[in-house]
Amino acid sequence: MPTLNQKEKLKKVKQPDVKIPIPVKQKRLVSGIKPTGQLTLGNYIGALKQFVKLQDEMENTELFIFIADLHAITTPIDKQELKKNIRSIAAIYLACGLDPDKVNLFIQSEVNEHAVLGYVMESTAYIGEMERMTQYKDKKQKQTEGIRTSLMTYPALMAADILMYDANIVPIGDDQKQHLELTRDLAIRFNNTYGETFVVPEGFFPETGARIMSLTDPTKKMDKSNENPKSYILLLDDLAAVRNKIKSAVTDSDAIIKYDVKKKPGISNLLTIYSSLTNETIKEVEKKYKGKSYSAFKADLAEIVADSLRPIQQMYFEYINNPRLDEILDQGAERAKLIASRKIEKVFKRMGMGRVR
């Protein structure tokens, strides 16, 4: 038999459902980067530079940008390295110009709801859909054994990252197009099954620089996971090394500075980098270097890249050991958690999970 006191306590448990209103902006933008290594010039041109541009240009839009550490464990990674990468990427985001007053910057694993909604998305997606993803097929081939289940299911987690915040806009490189398509399919499927719950997102792809290629093999993406350091430029590379990497980038032998991805992938890639960093169109750059040698063009590009990286590196060192970095990440996680926890509550309710409230 409960005592009177216990009965009182039980009554008290049923609290009125008071909710703090979430200030609503008209649109939401979501994107993430995996902390699988240090960031490259490809990440900068294809992602970070775009985020900063969007933050400055988009009105009435709230940005959620996160470090996708849950995605980083889909392939083996050293614990200390992961830890270092997470902090370093956060500092780089800020060093590249992300403004914590405009952007919610956070670490994905600090908002547990991502994993929860990821599971819900796994329970929405079909195995065939996962197996069809080209990135999965590519990455699976690179590993001979110990392929983790999450490598295959990871697009479900990516869908969760996006749908959690009702993102309208998702800026991504073109290698992520297929994952975004899947996200849209899953949102529609869930909405059809359980009623309107998720916003169906749109991709946003940069006009130039959606895919920066390797400097040693311009038919492949510049990738921080490549084993040859000459193939990529890291944002924190020593500037002398940066210049050398540009100067020794693979090009063809006919010495005409012309954009032609099929016939001249190397010089086309360098033209893309040039155009992205200077905001000059590729046509303008071609005109400027008409009749000039590859080595003259590369020497100028080496300086342009070094000049772009210098201020980023300076700001990076301001942030990396600064407690302000933790404050910014705490603030971002708090705001993300508020929205995410409500979304999970809504999703579970729609699905008939837990108790009726």
Catalytic residues: 139, 221, 224
Cα distances (angstroms) measured from residue 340 to each of 58, 67, 69, 296, 357: 23, 16, 17, 52, 19
**Residues 10-39 vs ligand ATP: string with x where CB under 6 A?**
-----------------------xx-x---
CB 32 within 8 A of CB 48: no
Region of 105-113, 218-226, 275-283, 307-315 interacting with ligand ATP (CB under 6 A): 218-226
Q: Which is nearer to ligand LTN, 133 or 347 (CB)?
A: 133
* Parallel/antiparallel/unpaired status of strands 169-171 and 103-107: unpaired
Measured distance CA(30)–CA(164) in Å, rounded: 9
- The side-by-side arrangement of strands in the sheet containing 169-171 is 103-107, 61-67, 27-33, 169-171, 202-204
**179 vs 243, beta carbon nearer ligand LTN:** 179
- What minimum distance in Å lies between the beta carbon of 43 and ligand ATP? 4
Q: Which residues contact residue 206 at a Cβ distance below 8 angstroms, ignoring those fewer than 6 apart?
A: 45, 46, 49, 50, 171, 173, 276
Q: Which two tokens stand for residue 39?
A: 């960031």
Count of residues interacting with ligand ATP (CB under 6 A): 20
| Shorter beta-carbon distance to ligand ATP: residue 104 or 269 | 269
Q: How far is the CB of 62 from ligand LTN (least distance, A)?
A: 15
* Binding partner at 235 among ligand ATP, ligand LTN, none, C-beta below 5 to 8 Å by kind: none
- Applying CB under 6 A, the residues found at the interface with ligand LTN are 30-32, 34, 68, 71, 158, 161-162, 170, 172, 176, 179
From ligand LTN, ligand ATP, none, which one binds at residue 42 (CB under 5 to 8 Å depending on kind)? ligand ATP
Within residues 145-204, the interface with ligand ATP by CB under 6 A covers: 172-173, 175-176
The residue ranges that bind ligand ATP (CB under 6 A) are 33-34, 36, 42-43, 45-47, 172-173, 175-176, 210-212, 221-225
